[in-house]
Structure 1
Amino acid sequence: MGLTTFTEEYTNAIAPARLFKASIYDSHNLIPKLMPQAIKSIEITQGNGGTGSIKQINFVEGSTLNYLKFRIDELSEETFTYNYTLIEADPLMEKQIESIVYEVKLEPALNGGTISKMTSKYYTKGDGELSEEVIKAGKERAMGMYKAVETYLLQNPDAYA
């Protein structure tokens, strides 16, 4: 099994508690409303949405992916940490990916906003290596969701306050 790791960090003007509630804790409700052109639904298929739960993202017809399933490994509103593992994806995981582990940590920024630190660990099948387009597509999907939530929160200052 191969391993490729990426770490990204970016800052925004939203407080960590508010960003955590919207983009992580309530993502299954908010993100399909903000991105109906890409995401049909997000369902909690096992558990109550906390640690150990399984969520499934269903993409709209015509997307390169049909769905993603991931397991929530850690969810802490006290430390603003969210770790989860992609365990199933049609058709992405058929070919080269065993799993992807994501670690998200939201920290207070000096301006009252948030420093978002994200680490992605791609575990490939056998000695396989990931193509640049798979990595780029994953990053673009994740950033698209975070940016949609950030824009929504900036435009709606009372939401998730």
Structure 2
Amino acid sequence: MGITTYDMEVETAVPAAKLYQSFILDGDTLIPKIVPQAMKSIEIVEGDGGVGTVKLITFGEGSQFKSVKHKIDAVDKDHDKYLHLKISYHLKIEGDVLADPLESISYHLKIVPTAEGGCIVKNTSIYTCKGDVTIPEEQIKAGKDKAAGLFKAIEAYLLAN
């Protein structure tokens, strides 16, 4: 099985605790409000929002995909604002995002406070492919660009509100 891993960091002026609350804990309602062209809706189909929860993400009109379900593997709901804030989840349930050759995708996010009062969002993505296939570099770059755009849109909204 082919595994492709990439790391990405996005720096933002939004305080870590505020970004974590808005993006991770309240993201199901906030993200579709901020970027409906990317994510039309996010709904819990199983669970209570904690570990084991399954969410259905329906993508917006501008997306090449229709929907995906993901499962939360770990979430730091009882965080201390001075520590790293974390969530891990994987896409392995169903959805057109997992077309051949993908078997699963795991995401591990950390939101790390900075001395300036903002934070750095650190993401590690692990793509597991069927067979020995790996993800081409241009697809990884396109994914990073979309994710960075999403974080920048959330940042602009949070700084304005």
Using the size of structure 2 for normalisation, the TM-score is 0.88
Question: Are the structure 2 counterparts of residues 38 and 115 from structure 1 closer, same or farther at C-alpha, using a change threshold of 3 Å?
Answer: closer
Decide which of 91, 99, 106 is 2:104's aligned counterpart: 99
Amino acid at match of 2:26: D
* Equivalent residues, number: 156
Q: Using the alignment, how far apart are the partners of 1:50 and 1:41 within structure 2?
A: 18
Q: Using the alignment, how far apart are the partners of 2:37 and 2:106 within structure 1?
A: 26
Equivalent residues of 1:56, 1:69 under 8 A apart: yes
Sequence identity (%): 44
Equivalent residues of 2:67, 2:97 under 8 A apart: no
RMSD: 1.7
Structure 2 residue ranges without an equivalent (≥5): none
Cα displacement (A) at 1:111:
0.2
User: 3-state SS of the aligned residue for 1:95?
Assistant: coil
Decide which of 148, 156, 159 is 1:151's aligned counterpart: 156
Structure 1 residue ranges without an equivalent (≥5): 157-161
Residue in structure 1 matched with residue 38 of structure 2 by the alignment: 38
Residue in structure 2 matched with residue 141 of structure 1 by the alignment: 146
Residue in structure 1 matched with residue 69 of structure 2 by the alignment: 69
Residue in structure 1 matched with residue 24 of structure 2 by the alignment: 24
Residue in structure 2 matched with residue 86 of structure 1 by the alignment: 91
Using the size of structure 1 for normalisation, the TM-score is 0.88
- The one-character-per-residue Cα deviations of 1:16-53 (angstroms, maximum 9, x if unpaired) are 11000111111110011111223221111110111110
